[in-house]
Amino acid sequence: MQKDELLRKVIKKKTRFVVITGGVCSSLGKGVLVSSIGVLLKNSGYSVSVVKWDPYLNVDPGTMSPLVHGEVFVTDDGAETDLDLGHYERFLNIHLDKTSSVSSGQIFKEILDGEREGKYLGKDIQFVPHVVDAIKNRLLNFAIDKNVDFVLVEIGGTVGDMEGIAFLEAVRQLKMDLADRQLMLCHLSLVPFLSWANELKTKPTQHSVILLKKAGLMPDSLFLRSDRKVGEKSKEKLSIMCGVHKDLIFESLTWEPVYKLFLDLQQQDVNKRIQNWFSIKKSKKADLSKWKKLIKKIEKEKEKITIGLIAKYVGSNDPYLSVIKALESACYANGYDVDIQVIDAQKIEKENLKKGTDIYEQVKKLQGLIIPGGFDKRGIVGKILAAKYARENKIPYLGLCLGMQVMLIEYAQSVLKITDASSTEFNKSTKNPIISLLEEQAEIVKKGGTMRLGKFPCTIIPETLAYKAYKKKEVWERHRHRYEFNNAYKKTFEKSGVVFSGIYKKKDLVEISELKNHPFMLGCQFHPEFLSTPLKPHPLFNEFIRAILAKKS
**Across the strands, what pairs with 80?**
74
Q: Could you give the strand order of the β-sheet that contains 16-23, starting from the edge strand earlier in sequence?
A: 101-103, 48-54, 150-155, 16-23, 183-190, 221-226, 249-253
Distance CA 348, CA 361 (A): 11
To the nearest 5 percent, what fractions of the chain are helix, strand and coil? 45, 20, 35
Residues with active-site annotation: 401, 527, 529
Distance CA 550, CA 553 (A): 5
Amino acid identity of 86? G
DSSP string for residues in 488-547:
GGHHHHHHHTEEEEEEETTTTEEEEEEETTSSSEEEESS-GGGG-BTTB--HHHHHHHHH
Longest dimension (CA), the chain: 76
Q: How far is CA 284 from the centre of its chain?
A: 29
Distance CA 455, CA 75 (A): 8
Burial track 247-267 (b if 16+ CB lie within 10 A, e otherwise): ebbbbbbeeeebbbbbbebbe
Instruction: Give the CA distances from residue 123 to residues 33, 104, 106, 126, in Å, rounded to whole numbers and listed in that order.
Output: 41, 21, 21, 9
